[in-house]
Amino acid sequence: LRLGTINAKLTSAEIQAISTDIRNWLETQLPFYIPITLNDLAFAQYQDLTLTPATTQIFPVAEITANQFEQFL
């Protein structure tokens, strides 16, 4: 699961500190549940890690064909 990227020059120590802070904060939060169906899910095939629409193809799970699915294997 990729939620995004941070465009900054950070040291390994800074990245570790941020990761630890986020992990610690998440541990204090109550879980929340979001109902998800097949119509809510899609495969994203991309070539550019910035996930630009021009280089990203979206395949809704509920509509994917066997041939398209085989491309992901």
Distances from the Cα of 5 to the Cαs of 8, 9, 50, in angstroms?
9, 12, 8
23-46 pLDDT, tens digit each: 999 999 999 899 999 999 998 888
pLDDT surpassing 70 at residue 2? no
Report how far residue 72's alpha carbon sits from residue 61's, in angstroms, rounded to the nearest whole number: 12
Query: Would you place residue 1 in the very low, low, confident or very high pLDDT band (cuts 50, 70, 90)?
Result: low
Please give the mean pLDDT across all residues of the chain: 86
pTM (2 decimals)? Answer: 0.47
User: According to the model, what pLDDT value does residue 47 have?
Assistant: 81
Q: For the chain, which residues make up each domain, given as ranges?
A: 12-71
